[in-house]
Amino acid sequence: MPWTKQDYPTSMKNLETRVRHKAIDIANALLDEGYSEGRAIPIAIAQARRWAEEDHEEKTASRDSSS
């Protein structure tokens, strides 16, 4: 069952909105690849958090270099 921005696992409820949306996208892709929900959810959350950290670092570096 694919998840949506309104219907997602409870383990994603406390994530920042943009991280949760990314985790939902990743989890749905993992399900399409045959992962079980039990494996897809923690993998998606970890990857979404990593994505958010890297995105934040890139924006900070870009801002610092343009000053």
pLDDT tens-digit map of 20-56: 999 999 999 999 999 999 999 999 999 999 999 998 7
Do residues 20 and 50 make contact, with C-beta atoms less than 8 angstroms apart?
A: no
pTM (predicted TM-score): 0.83
60: confidence class by pLDDT, cuts 50, 70, 90: low
The CA-atom distances, in angstroms, between 52 and each of 6, 15, 48, 56 are 20, 11, 6, 6
